[in-house]
Structure 1
């Protein structure tokens, strides 16, 4: 009930008073990573990150600013030696805390995992495909992580869709049912500073439509597919090269910079890391989190297909189907049961 009241209070500030409230924060804790995925550039960026003392302070400042949920990712967040302390502080502050991992370091960090409200584990398909993208042996590590984590916390399987694993959609869906995990599919993206050149991996417009149609078909059978039908239909009706043509979908407002933000590994606060090269940002080394958040401009993107951002936008815009989908997911995931109680 406490979490619900906190959400209601800050929702009133956001909608009733028109104030900015960083309800949802994604924090890239580190650029360091123990593996090298072919489409990810993050491990090749500068290894600069906030130290433990400042990171703990930032978590306190998030709670004071009204944050409800923090997602910790990388790189690989479990390479940070202070990850247990960071998750512990987040939970002490009442933050719904999720962690994104490749799974390889899960078993040696079970004390950290057990504190979480959910863990997102990357899995791109059967062993041959997954290991091709992420390195030999990583499939077995990811599968072991799914098996172990599912004993303690809700598990979310994260699959990056490419032109080579598009036939694995059914396989991943079946796995989610077997382990009681939720599953999310994300088309591979070309992201400035975060990804390598993904030209060789991107889905054609026709292949993307086929993938979305397949996911829509499976969603009618598998309630653990997390994507809302609203999002999927938006992607299905999306025209190719929208940004190049200058078109705007105009379907949903982007709330990044108003109700959510992202923190880069060096401590800079952005409305969205996908456009971090186009906006000025304050750094948490010198600035309070709330100050850095309120400095942000409003994001005006309308062509985004980043699943987490678009789904947040649908929720915050009170899209009926997306909210109903969220409620159904809440019923299946222990980390949201406390919010709904």
Structure 2
């Protein structure tokens, strides 16, 4: 799960009830035409830190009129986040942007590198960084709340492997911050009590059984589909996230249809190839440039037609306009970056290092929350020289804090979901 854990997407929340399209029968229908494969045994595990169970392993600056989000609005529900709560979050972001005051509003919070999957494009399980314990995490979460954070998204590795994950989710909610998580879905049956307490969740799904197992390991599709089936049976809201490689490029239609049947939305991501995070072989899984552009055009067309694509046309169009996919980002040393990464959203690594975003790993010299303090480490992450990248999710985030109307509307509609 590590790659898209560091990329994006979502589920809404503890006890959230979803409209009937996402029913057990809808999920069961997804299985009817799939050939069964034997389940593979779980990879051998090891304990990696306190609280962790056994584990295996063109600038986005113009508003295109045709890019307005055509996706139908979700039906109103009594449990939806109250307009006053949405307004409070929106007012905080607007105020900070108009006054030029940085705030760590969104925190990508990586709890561990350990994972019970071995995705071909991810390096997380091979990293041996030290990791924070429960007490340290509680202090860090409280400090982020003090600094103005409105959403913390737990990542890995696989965050559900931590035995203290329920305590950390509760801590986030206790300090008045929205809780989110990205998971490969394997442990949803065992951890449903934690899942119900979240505000947002993303479940990783790359396509049909052959495609998903080919990228994440034999038997993994059955496990994630079981997790999705349970989430649907609980009538919970969730989002899907798919990594689109040369192997899974043909899965887009199936994923969109699956999302429609479930009544959820799906995020598509092209692999990055920073070897620190994504593995030395990640580049080999990228589709060739012409295929990437064809994929993006297909996603954009689907979004315009009202398909359940999570991100905006603007962000996919930005990636489509990228000239050279062998270069994942553009640095201009000595110049202040126009990107809002580091100033309004950030990446926290399992050892406590804070980066502007995940793409800076291995090139940016971070400060650490234990050694330097949360505030100092975050302020240090504001000073970087990255001007642009092709990562769709990062550009979606950037556009939120650049107050792009289409992206802000999409965020308001799809991310600020219900809470008990």
State the TM-score, normalized to the length of structure 1. 0.90
Query: Structure 1 residues 6, 162: CA separation in 2 closer, same or farther (over 3 Å shift)?
Result: closer
> Over residues 121-158 of structure 1, what are the superposed CA-to-partner deviations in whole Å (9 max), with x where a residue is unaligned?
11111001111111121101111212222435321111
Report if the CA contact (8 A) 1:25-1:263 is conserved: yes
Moved more, 152-161 or 206-215: 152-161
What residue ranges of structure 2 are gaps of 5+ in the alignment?
Answer: 1-83
The C-alpha deviation readout for 1:160-191, integer Å capped at 9, x for no partner, is: 01011111011111111111121000001102
Q: Cα 1:325–1:244, aligned 2, differ >3 Å: closer, same or farther?
A: closer
RCO higher in structure (CA 8 A, sep ≥6): 2
Which of 281, 287, 309 is the aligned partner of 2:394? 309
Output one character per residue of 1:43-97: Cα deviation in whole Å (capped at 9) or x when no partner: 0000521000010111111110000111111100001000000001101112111
- Offset at residue 247 of structure 1 (A): 9.7
The answer to whether structure 1 residue 270 and structure 2 residue 355 are counterparts is yes
Q: Secondary structure, in 3 states, of the residue corresponding to 1:40?
A: coil
**1:158 is the counterpart of 2:250:** no
> What is the alpha-carbon distance in structure 2 between the residues aligned to residue 215 and residue 244 of structure 1?
20
The answer to whether the aligner puts 1:284 opposite 2:369 as a matched pair is yes
Question: Does 1:187 pair with 2:258?
Answer: no
- Does residue 90 (structure 1) correspond to residue 172 (structure 2)? The answer is yes
8 A Cα contact 1:104 1:145, kept in partner: yes
Equivalent in the alignment of 2:316: 232
Q: Comparing 256-265 with 298-307, which one deviates more in the overlay? A: 298-307
Q: Which moved more, 1:258-267 or 1:270-279?
A: 270-279
TM-score between the two structures when normalised by the length of structure 2: 0.74
Matching residue within 78, 100, 122 for 2:160: 78
Greater CA drift, 226-235 or 83-92: 226-235
Q: Distance in 1 between matches of 2:413 and 2:93?
A: 23
Question: What secondary structure, in the 3-state scheme, does the structure 2 residue paired with 1:54 have?
Answer: helix
Seen in structure 2, the aligned counterparts of structure 1 residues 95 and 3 have a Cα distance that, compared at 3 Å, is farther
2:376 is the alignment partner of 1:294: no
For the aligned residues, what is the CA RMSD?
A: 2.3
Equivalent in the alignment of 1:112: 194
What is the CA–CA distance in structure 2 between the aligned matches of 1:288 and 1:244, rounded to whole Å?
A: 30
Q: Take 2:235 and 2:189, find their aligned partners in 1: how far apart are those partners?
A: 12
- Contact 1:29/1:77 (CA < 8 Å) preserved in 2? yes
1:70 counterpart SS class: strand
Contact 1:30/1:75 (8 A) holds in 2: yes
Aligned position for 1:325: 410
Higher mean displacement: 156-165 or 291-300: 291-300
Alpha-carbon deviation of 1:253? 3.6
Q: Which residue of 2 aligns with 1:130?
A: 212
1: distance between equivalents of 2:116 and 2:342? 31
SS in 1 for 2:400: helix
1:139 equivalenced with 2:224 (yes/no): no
CA distance in 2, matches of 1:165, 1:245: 24
CA offset at residue 323 of structure 1?
2.2
How many angstroms apart in 2 are the aligned matches of 1:117 and 1:222? 25
Aligned to 1:336: 417
The DSSP-based 3-state class of the residue aligned with 1:194 is helix
Measured in 1, the distance between the counterparts of 2:395 and 2:329 equals 21
- Structure 1 pair 47/321, CA: closer, same or farther in 2 (3 Å)? same
Corresponding position: 1:254 with 2:336: no
Offset from partner CA, 1:223-252 (integer Å, 9 cap, x none): 42111011122222221257499799xxx9
Residue correspondences, number: 331
Q: 2:114 matched to 1:32?
A: yes
Whole-Å separation in 2 of the counterparts to 1:316 and 1:267: 24
The residue number in structure 2 matching 1:99 is: 181
Moved more, 286-295 or 101-110: 286-295
